Amino acid sequence: MPILGVSVRVGPGAPEREIDIIFLSRKNHKETYTQEYLRAYGVEPPSVPDSFGDIIQRIRSMREMHAAVELMNSLKRGDIMLMDGALKADIDTPDEFYKKLEDMVADSEIILLGISKKSSLSLGHLPLTAVLKKKGMELFPYEEWFCPLYESIRPDHQLGGIYLARLEGLSDYVFRVDAYPEDTPSVDPAVFSLLSLYSKDPAYLGYPFPLAQVHNASIIRRSDAEALAYRIEESAVSGGIKPADWAGMFMNFHDVLDRGL
């Protein structure tokens, strides 16, 4: 059962990496957002955010979900697909999308797992992850373990069941793992055993390496951002904008403070 990541495709070597630039303005932001939403979810968006930052963040989520559907169409019966984050509808991802995934999983008989790097699950006023991590470390100090929670915790708009898992016995980290079908890991613990085999890399001990590889490939590093900003400024100046006017439009003292001198 191969484990495959989404967001960018994982090939024989490093994941493919391509930066896509979207230009937003007050004239095109609604149209751009609507087109991306339709492409990802097949329906019109209920609303369009006013903030360009929110629009960009949601478009990234939309493209990740679109890539998940494309990848799922290429999987075979019994394959496992990993997704970054909970399998839960939110402001970025509507319920209808997860209903579509539910139907696709049922038809293809694959296993869908969502791995969350942080969790807001709570037990009363206590953080549930921290409480169960402490108990798990006491009972199984050097072992891998998982704990099903779906019989007692069922958040609204949730797809599948929720587990907490320590995927490597020497790791200090535990993760929320959402699974669909929800009882698959409990019925067949080999699913978590297989997942733990991909969580042995010393640099990311306890976290599935395919997701770490995808994360690293999708990061826009500071050097990338600076190179892109320079290219955009160069194009603007060559198009007739004076360098002093360009600098004035983007003057921000944070640029001085962030140097950390």
Per-residue pLDDT of the chain (261 residues; tens, 9 = 90+): 333 323 334 444 444 556 777 888 888 999 999 999 999 998 899 999 988 889 988 998 898 888 888 888 888 888 899 999 999 888 778 888 888 888 888 888 899 999 998 888 887 787 888 888 899 999 999 999 999 988 778 888 898 999 999 999 999 999 999 999 999 988 888 999 999 999 999 999 999 999 998 888 888 788 888 888 888 889 889 989 998 998 888 888 877 887 776
Residue 233: Cβ-neighbour burial (10 angstroms; 0-12, 13-18, 19+): middle
Residues 6+ apart with CB under 8 A from 230: none
pLDDT score of 6: 30
Rounded-to-integer distance, Cα 87 and Cα 97, Å: 10
Query: Does the model's pTM come out above 0.75?
Result: yes
Q: What is the largest CA-CA distance in the chain?
A: 68
Residues 6+ apart with CB under 8 A from 71: 4, 6, 9, 81
Helices (H), ranges, the chain: 29-41, 52-72, 95-108, 128-139, 184-187, 190-197, 209-218, 222-238, 243-249, 254-257
pLDDT score of 231: 87
pLDDT score of 4: 31
Alpha-carbon Rg for the chain in angstroms: 21
Rounded-to-integer distance, Cα 184 and Cα 111, Å: 8
Asked if residues 144 and 196 have their Cβ atoms less than 8 Å apart, the reply is yes
